[in-house]
Structure 1
Amino acid sequence: MEDPDVPTDIFKLTERFLMKEREKFIAALERRPITGLVPHFELVFFLTMEAFGKLHPSQRHYAQWEQMSRTEQTLHIDEIARLYIDTARRYQHAGILYHGVSGWDMETNRRCMERIRELSGDEYALLAHGDATYALPSGDGVMEFVCRMFEDAQGLKDQAERMVDEQIALTETMRSWGILDGFCLCSDYCFNTNPFLAPEQFEEFIFPYLKKLIAAYREQGFYTIKHTDGNIMPILDMLVEANPHALHSLDPQGGVDIAEVKSRCGNRLCLIGNVNCASLQTGTAEELTASVQYALKHGMPDYGYIFSTSNCIYTGLALDRYEMMLDIWRREGIYA
């Protein structure tokens, strides 16, 4: 009930800024109107040592996990869950992407995700990794993959089908947990200059399986964010046609202009990005400011936008530069 001694417009202003981060995140994914700050999200915040004096969960390895008592395991799980939440709270992340811990099995990772949800309630969207499509190969894998495209194309496609089917079966189990909101699909497809595969090859070896995976996630009730760095423009239409809820990271170092992407497909999916990581790490204050302002200016109109870097908050980045980026976002990333 409104207090008669308080102006009505104060209540309206308060209501605008009380929207939970998870609610804003989902509204952005669904391209619905948002009031207050544009939601903010990062795939990874690796600077937990600098910010909290603690190693990031994905950089840990519990080789003797099975030798620990149940109590000791529970304390480790609780500490990691709290670190994810502390990061989201301090830096106003609307979503948490859970990365898993080396040496943990599926059940232990489930316990940790469940603990995050227990401690944070429905404050943040909770996501996990969930890509099962071919990623840009590294090292010797490049030659092997290229040879298979020409010597064993059907075998390569059969394997792609199996990988997706296995992932769908796994996430059906994960759906029964009732913990997750969705998945980030983080197979990278592109260099800064071009995609690893020509568009016609991408259409043959990746697109059908990406589309199938996303359709299954949607049917299971999950949101999907498709991530890939680099120059996605030659395959942009296929990425959009695969029908994810959002596309990340719209990499300016790969020549991707958020204004062009917004114009071409901003009415079909949410965009996440695209503060230039080069400006963030080594640019001048003026260059970083310009990159943040450009992302907000072209991402925010007509909603369907989540503010983010064009990669992640990676090891070696100066924390004060990230905080500078957020200061600009807090001042200028506000919907009326």
Structure 2
Amino acid sequence: MTGRERILTALKRQQPDRVPTMEWVLNPDVTEAITGDRNQIEFAKKMGVDAVAVSLNYTKEKIDDEHFVDEWGVKRISYDEYPTPVGYPIKDENDFKNFKVPDPDAEHRFDSIRQALKEADGEVGVVARVKDIFSLPRDMMGFEDFLMSFYLQPELAAQLMQMCVEHSTRIGHNLREIGVEAVVIGDDIANNTGLLMRPDMYVDQVYPYFKQLVQNLKAEGLFVIKHSDGDLRAVLPELVDSGIDCLDPIDPLGGMDIGYMKKTYGDRIALKGNIDCVETLVEKPLADVRKETARCLLDASEGGGHIISSSNSIHKGINPENYKYFLEQAHELGTYPLDRAALEKIADGK
């Protein structure tokens, strides 16, 4: 099977020839240290990574060596892999009325996706990153003001989320037209201690827009993966009911147990995750990488429907040797049919 075929098979909750793997971020310094490649498609082909995630193209206007304004009017400081919002275009409904939404049909929007599809040539899957209805308003208003808007400006919060539904739905349509088969929508709605807002508030005010977006993307013929770190247990039934095909990363630091998820929801959604990328892939001995990989396969991979990966991303702090070893172990131990006795022995450190 090709990597693309493995990913699609897992998203259908079926069993491919081996457990597939992919990451939302492949830091180029890490990939270069392993194979000499900074191009993630080339790295994926050499190392048996089955799919890559690619972002849409939104223009950036440079302010100085550290700051830029993106096409959504958000001022960001770029000092690491994740540019942080520091200036926000929306404070009230008047700002929103005067705001010009970036054109979802703009040709340049899909340049990186088209290039990735060309390079992948059907061998490696290409998953497009699409904003959901929480992360974009958060960046446009600032996190604190966006959360406060649910109390103080609920109409504005609703208008922003509806804008996201409409924009990302059209983006999804265009992605399907150019050959994309799966999208990941993010970002985090929780941290390690729970949701970033009251669960009842999320269900009443946010979830209807989230479900609408998921259903719209599904209607376009796309597989939909939901990404969020943290402890999602308070709204797991709702997330599963929304129609998503896969949930990621089943964050172990957020108390999320991938074995429980497999037993409870594995007949309805696929799972992606969840080798610890805070310690295991950063600084632990290779023997621990092997043990954790075996345990993850035991807990989540039987019968298919599992994409094994880090618990977030291959960020710049990842030890290249550990990540390379994880990929080797995932390929060796994750071939179907799984050898439960061997995996149990390795997971127990024997």
TM-score interval, normalised by the smaller of the two chains: 0.7 to 0.9
Residue 312 of structure 2 aligns with an amino acid whose one-letter code is N
Deviation at 1:150, TM superposition (A): 1.1
CA RMSD of aligned residues (A): 2.3
Residue 216 of structure 2 aligns with an amino acid whose one-letter code is A
- The unaligned stretches of length 5 or more in structure 1 are 1-18, 56-82
Give the share of equivalent positions with the same residue, in percent: 23
Matched residue pairs, number? Answer: 289
Paired position in structure 1 for 2:50: 94
Paired position in structure 2 for 1:288: 289
Residue 99 of structure 1 aligns with an amino acid whose one-letter code is S
Provide the secondary structure at the position in 1 that maps to 2:22: coil
Q: Name which of structure 1's ranges 37-46 and 106-115 shifts more when overlaid on structure 2.
A: 106-115
Deviation at 1:51, TM superposition (A): 3.8
Provide the secondary structure at the position in 2 that maps to 1:126: strand
Structure 2 vs 1, CA of residues 143 and 98 (structure 1 numbering), >3 Å: closer, same or farther? Answer: closer
Deviation at 1:171, TM superposition (A): 2.5
What TM-score results when the alignment is normalised by the length of structure 1?
0.79
What TM-score results when the alignment is normalised by the length of structure 2?
0.76
CA distance in 1, matches of 2:5, 2:331: 18
Selected match of 1:50 from 14, 33, 41:
33
Q: Name which of structure 1's ranges 245-254 and 120-129 shifts more when overlaid on structure 2.
A: 120-129
Q: Cα deviations across residues 140-194 of structure 1 (Å, max 9, x unaligned)?
A: 93431232111122321222112111221233233332x2112111211111111
Provide the secondary structure at the position in 2 that maps to 1:210: helix
Provide the secondary structure at the position in 2 that maps to 1:89: helix
Query: What are the equivalent positions in structure 2 for 1:223-242 lying under 5 Å apart?
Result: 223-242=223-242
Structure 2 vs 1, CA of residues 321 and 102 (structure 1 numbering), >3 Å: closer, same or farther? Answer: farther
CA distance in 2, matches of 1:108, 1:151: 37
Query: What are the equivalent positions in structure 2 for 1:161-240 lying under 5 Å apart?
Result: 161-177=162-178, 179-240=179-240
- The unaligned stretches of length 5 or more in structure 2 are 61-70, 72-105, 338-350
Residue 257 of structure 2 aligns with an amino acid whose one-letter code is D
CA distance in 2, matches of 1:287, 1:233: 27
Judge conservation of contact 1:194–1:232 (CA < 8 Å) in 2: yes
Structure 2 vs 1, CA of residues 44 and 134 (structure 1 numbering), >3 Å: closer, same or farther? Answer: same
Paired position in structure 1 for 2:19: 38
Deviation at 1:112, TM superposition (A): 3.6
Judge conservation of contact 2:44–2:52 (CA < 8 Å) in 1: yes
Residue 333 of structure 2 aligns with an amino acid whose one-letter code is E
Q: Cα deviations across residues 250-271 of structure 1 (Å, max 9, x unaligned)?
A: 1111111101111110110100
Deviation at 1:52, TM superposition (A): 5.4
Paired position in structure 2 for 1:135: 135
CA distance in 2, matches of 1:187, 1:97: 14
Deviation at 1:233, TM superposition (A): 1.4
Question: Would you say 1:20 and 2:2 are equivalent positions?
Answer: yes
Question: Would you say 1:29 and 2:11 are equivalent positions?
Answer: yes
In proportion to residue count, which structure has more helix?
Answer: 1
Deviation at 1:113, TM superposition (A): 2.6
Deviation at 1:101, TM superposition (A): 5.8
Question: After TM superposition, what 4+ stretches of structure 1 lie above 4 angstroms from structure 2?
Answer: 52-55, 100-106
